[in-house]
Chains A and B, each alone.
Chain A
């Protein structure tokens, strides 16, 4: 593959970042600062309080997205190493500088099945897939430099694998005004509930690792347990509030993943992998000094919790545009959520009402580099055709990015 092929508009492949809410459509162009901008079926996932007096139809299967990101290497850097076929000391430093505790690779995707909204009710369904692999920074140091230190310790905290695939069937209702005195601005309330049909799940249940090499010999200890499940059922709920406390300033708050979780029962297994060697010396390699054992056993039913996630959003409408800022805080780590809080900024400019321009920015975290987003739409009723790009770790999308996203969305608005 020499060049990324520009996907024809009709292919409508959307690449979107790993984020709660939704991975479909316009949010990518705003770098996920979308909570107060969602309308129609989207509001089921962003803020059901915004379900009111609108209607849309999602085209099934054409709104799909996949994204791959990492926190260490850009395409430029990768190309440079592949061209030179050599990893220099400077390359090693650059690779390790990009990560804190772990090298993280994320893969996520979402594909719409069906979606429509009428007035203040919406129905939507989509399939989700999320995967994340984290490898301790110390493993990379071992690989790149060798065992310069006497002892290396690894744990589930910095080395783990997680994947989750499920289908959601979501119904939402919004636009409900709270009965408040007239002096208080209207507050709309909404809620959505999702039936989650679990397809597969895998995560690291336990991991402890030790590598020690000194005059007392080489000691190795690796103890890994993976828990996997297939066929599950679950639920999550979302409630949202929206209001316009000041003219043109819209504010909202949502709490997602209420009672969130998927219980796996059809197939559940524990996979154990253990390797150990105690005080091994090169001179004794003819003896069987490495003990290795792996076995799988049935596990009982277990539950994947989806921790609560709080989102706060502000949207300020200007004459020819709008500014938004979202803050997202998860209350636990999972394939869908992160305990690390994140702020997303979005801007929309309307040089022409039918051609909005969009910009977004999200500062980096320990597991994800910062990103910048750009988008444009063509609004010719009833169609809304949008185009967006996202760049990780670099202002301009290109080979200097550590990840990229491209989005197209097509929906009808009535």
Chain B
């Protein structure tokens, strides 16, 4: 029996030695390999069809546009400078008298004009016996009803001025220049015929303003308005120090409302306001002559397109941020051999466009963003980083199909005043050097399929930097110096593909 008790006691002892802890979630470390992204960044995505466009050969091109305009032509002023006196008044005379007419001293050859303002003076002098009928009319001067200008003598003495507003001078669409005025005289009196009764005179020696003319304008200048728009170029990230543009072209499209051919005189001005460099070149054709702008027709305004490529690259190489057409004017040189037309409201307008293809020489100058990017980290993420994160890497496979290589780096800091030259202003700096397509094709094995591989490591200390509610990222780039000119095209084969994974070590906790 004692043996039985012993055995039972042994069993009880065995059973009572078994203790089981209450279950709790323990902690442990794991590493997850997380695929982050697989994205192709196409050069063609930069095209916005406004400022960045594609030109021949799918070359990416920076485009700037501006506009030009003249003020309205305004009224044309002529001064006929006619002063004729002592034209005899003969009783019983019915006839005409021609007096010469010319506005050439005003630079106008007139065929027809609509008078906006002006005066004609008539003088009756030494009238011995007032005629019963004395009528004077100028046949080439007609009112809006088509009736010639006429005077019926009523006993006036001395000079009298007559308002010529809304009178037409010359014959519209005659195609013939006006060189004289025809005065028709009709005189009847009680005295026998051929009896001198006195004299009269005409004067038109004050300016006549014409709101519409047909004829010729010689050396008549139309200047552009002062507020002609300029092309402002905003180079991203200070890239202007890193590239040297090689080609550019200027396209000017001028719309002429005047029925006169004009000569365009002007210069293209460029300024780099950051360093004060200025350049200007005259806008002339390949032979060094000013461009001619076609005249409008009776069907309406005519547009003339001018393509100007001479020496523009010299302008672009200063990397200007302001481009403008300056000192520009239109000069009408129409001698009257052909009849032109114009109205006082007519203007000449134009649009100009500067194209700068992305064809450049690269310089090894650091390009920095002007302002860092702020990122906000949520409290949940910060808790995870503080309590769980151990390390993180960023594994990158990048396929650069562009002809440029560059270093890309980021400075990470707690406040926005990050200066790469001041290490105390940033917490962390990471950088990769990406080679060009040519380098990759020549140096990488075929098994790499063009992919360049990078691994950016962040240890536990660096991970904890992300336990800040705000961080600032300042990106910087610097191109690999190129000895030859490179062109950036935007075909479907021009892209940078980034494939990345994050190996993340963290602690699983409750």
Chain A contributes a number of interface residues (CB within 8 A of B) equal to 50
Q: Are A146 and B27 interface neighbours, CB within 8 A?
A: no
Given contacts A81-B26, A398-B17, A281 and B32 within 8 Å (CB-CB)? no
Question: B8 to chain A: which residues have CB within 8 Å?
Answer: 376, 387
**What 1/0 flags go to B1-44 for Cβ under 8 Å of A?**
00110011001101111111111101110111111111100000
**What 1/0 flags go to A271-299 for Cβ under 8 Å of B?**
00000000111111000000000000000
Q: Are B24 and A215 interface neighbours, CB within 8 A?
A: no
Query: Considering the chains assembled together, what is the distance between the CA atoms of A130 and B418 in angstroms?
Result: 67
Query: Considering the chains assembled together, what is the distance between the CA atoms of A357 and B7 in angstroms?
Result: 9
Question: A398 to chain B: which residues have CB within 8 Å?
Answer: 14, 17-18
User: Max chain A CB contacts within 10 Å: which of B7, B30, B31, B35?
Assistant: B35
Q: Are B19 and A82 interface neighbours, CB within 8 A?
A: no
Q: Which of B4, B33, B37 contacts A213 (CB 8 A)?
A: B33
Query: Considering the chains assembled together, what is the distance between the CA atoms of A357 and B19 in angstroms?
Result: 27
Chain B contributes a number of interface residues (CB within 8 A of A) equal to 35
Q: Are B38 and A216 interface neighbours, CB within 8 A?
A: yes
Interface residues of A in 30-88 (CB under 8 A from B): 75, 78-79, 81-88
Given contacts A213-B33, A355-B4, A75 and B28 within 8 Å (CB-CB)? no
Q: Are B3 and A355 interface neighbours, CB within 8 A?
A: yes
Question: A284 to chain B: which residues have CB within 8 Å?
Answer: 37
Q: Is A381 an interface residue (CB 8 A)?
A: no
Query: Considering the chains assembled together, what is the distance between the CA atoms of A92 and B31 in angstroms?
Result: 14
Q: Are A4 and B16 interface neighbours, CB within 8 A?
A: yes
Q: Which of A81, A143, A378, A399 contacts B19 (CB 8 A)?
A: A399
Query: Considering the chains assembled together, what is the distance between the CA atoms of A216 and B36 in angstroms?
Result: 10
Q: Is A389 an interface residue (CB 8 A)?
A: yes
Q: Is B499 an interface residue (CB 8 A)?
A: yes
Q: Is A397 an interface residue (CB 8 A)?
A: yes
Q: Are A399 and B18 interface neighbours, CB within 8 A?
A: yes
Q: Is B397 an interface residue (CB 8 A)?
A: yes
Q: Is A148 an interface residue (CB 8 A)?
A: yes
Given contacts A78-B20, A355-B3, A387-B11, A144 and B35 within 8 Å (CB-CB)? no
Q: Are A282 and B502 interface neighbours, CB within 8 A?
A: yes
Q: Is A164 an interface residue (CB 8 A)?
A: no
Q: Is B268 an interface residue (CB 8 A)?
A: no
Q: Is the interface of A mostly helix, strand, loop or mixed?
A: mixed
Q: Which residue on A lies nearest to B7, using beta carbons? A: A376
Q: Are B18 and A4 interface neighbours, CB within 8 A?
A: yes
Q: Which of B20, B36, B499 contacts A282 (CB 8 A)?
A: B36
Q: Are A214 and B4 interface neighbours, CB within 8 A?
A: no
Query: Considering the chains assembled together, what is the distance between the CA atoms of A281 and B31 in angstroms?
Result: 17
Question: A247 to chain B: which residues have CB within 8 Å?
Answer: none
Query: Considering the chains assembled together, what is the distance between the CA atoms of A148 and B22 in angstroms?
Result: 31
**What 1/0 flags go to A393-414 for Cβ under 8 Å of B?**
0001111000010100000000
Given contacts A87-B27, A92-B28, A387-B8, A215 and B18 within 8 Å (CB-CB)? no
Q: Is B501 an interface residue (CB 8 A)?
A: yes
CB distance from A385 to the nearest CB of B (A): 11
Q: Which residue on A lies nearest to B502, using beta carbons? A: A282
Question: B397 to chain A: which residues have CB within 8 Å?
Answer: 215
Question: B32 to chain A: which residues have CB within 8 Å?
Answer: 146-147
Query: Considering the chains assembled together, what is the distance between the CA atoms of A404 and B275 in angstroms?
Result: 87
Q: Are A214 and B35 interface neighbours, CB within 8 A?
A: yes
Q: Is A217 an interface residue (CB 8 A)?
A: yes
CB distance from A239 to the nearest CB of B (A): 37
Q: Which of A6, A82, A88 contacts B15 (CB 8 A)?
A: A6
Q: Which residue on B lies nearest to A7, using beta carbons? A: B15
Q: Which residue on A lies nearest to B503, using beta carbons? A: A146
User: Max chain A CB contacts within 10 Å: which of B12, B18, B26, B502?
Assistant: B18
Query: Considering the chains assembled together, what is the distance between the CA atoms of A1 and B500 in angstroms?
Result: 49
Query: Considering the chains assembled together, what is the distance between the CA atoms of A87 and B501 in angstroms?
Result: 27
Q: Is A259 an interface residue (CB 8 A)?
A: no
Given contacts A2-B20, A6-B16, A78-B21, A389 and B11 within 8 Å (CB-CB)? yes
Question: A147 to chain B: which residues have CB within 8 Å?
Answer: 32-33
Query: Considering the chains assembled together, what is the distance between the CA atoms of A92 and B30 in angstroms?
Result: 11
Given contacts A215-B35, A283-B37, A399 and B17 within 8 Å (CB-CB)? yes
Q: Which of B18, B36, B502 contacts A75 (CB 8 A)?
A: B18
Q: Are A79 and B7 interface neighbours, CB within 8 A?
A: no
Question: A396 to chain B: which residues have CB within 8 Å?
Answer: 14
Q: Are B18 and A144 interface neighbours, CB within 8 A?
A: no
Question: B37 to chain A: which residues have CB within 8 Å?
Answer: 281-284
Q: Are A148 and B4 interface neighbours, CB within 8 A?
A: no
Q: Which residue on A lies nearest to B8, using beta carbons? A: A387
Q: Are B19 and A2 interface neighbours, CB within 8 A?
A: yes
Q: Are A87 and B28 interface neighbours, CB within 8 A?
A: yes
Query: Considering the chains assembled together, what is the distance between the CA atoms of A215 and B502 in angstroms?
Result: 10
Q: Which residue on B lies nearest to A218, using beta carbons? A: B35
Query: Considering the chains assembled together, what is the distance between the CA atoms of A84 and B11 in angstroms?
Result: 30
Interface residues of B in 474-505 (CB under 8 A from A): 499-502
Query: Considering the chains assembled together, what is the distance between the CA atoms of A78 and B14 in angstroms?
Result: 18
Q: Are A84 and B30 interface neighbours, CB within 8 A?
A: no
Question: A88 to chain B: which residues have CB within 8 Å?
Answer: 28
**What 1/0 flags go to B34-68 for Cβ under 8 Å of A?**
11111100000000000000000000000000000
Query: Considering the chains assembled together, what is the distance between the CA atoms of A87 and B25 in angstroms?
Result: 10
Q: Which of B3, B17, B33 contacts A146 (CB 8 A)?
A: B33
Q: Are A282 and B30 interface neighbours, CB within 8 A?
A: no
Q: Are B38 and A215 interface neighbours, CB within 8 A?
A: yes
Interface residues of A in 130-184 (CB under 8 A from B): 143-148
Query: Considering the chains assembled together, what is the distance between the CA atoms of A215 and B396 in angstroms?
Result: 9
Q: Are B26 and A87 interface neighbours, CB within 8 A?
A: yes
Query: Considering the chains assembled together, what is the distance between the CA atoms of A72 and B23 in angstroms?
Result: 17
Q: Which of A213, A216, A352 contacts B34 (CB 8 A)?
A: A213
Query: Considering the chains assembled together, what is the distance between the CA atoms of A378 and B7 in angstroms?
Result: 11
CB distance from B464 to the nearest CB of A (A): 21
Q: Give 16 CB contacts A-B under 8 Å.
A: A3-B16, A6-B15, A82-B22, A86-B27, A145-B31, A148-B31, A213-B34, A213-B501, A215-B35, A215-B499, A216-B38, A282-B502, A351-B3, A387-B11, A397-B15, A398-B14
Report the 10 A-B pairs with minimum CB-CB distance, sorted nearest first.
A87-B28, A82-B21, A146-B30, A283-B37, A146-B31, A79-B21, A217-B35, A146-B32, A215-B499, A4-B18
Beyond A144-B28, A215-B38: 6 further Cβ-contacts under 8 Å?
A: A87-B26, A88-B28, A214-B33, A282-B36, A357-B7, A398-B18
Chain A interface (Cβ within 8 Å of chain B)? 1-4, 6, 75, 78-79, 81-88, 91-92, 143-148, 213-218, 279-284, 351-352, 355, 357, 376, 378, 387, 389, 396-399, 404, 406
Chain B interface (Cβ within 8 Å of chain A)? 3-4, 7-8, 11-12, 14-24, 26-28, 30-39, 397, 499-502
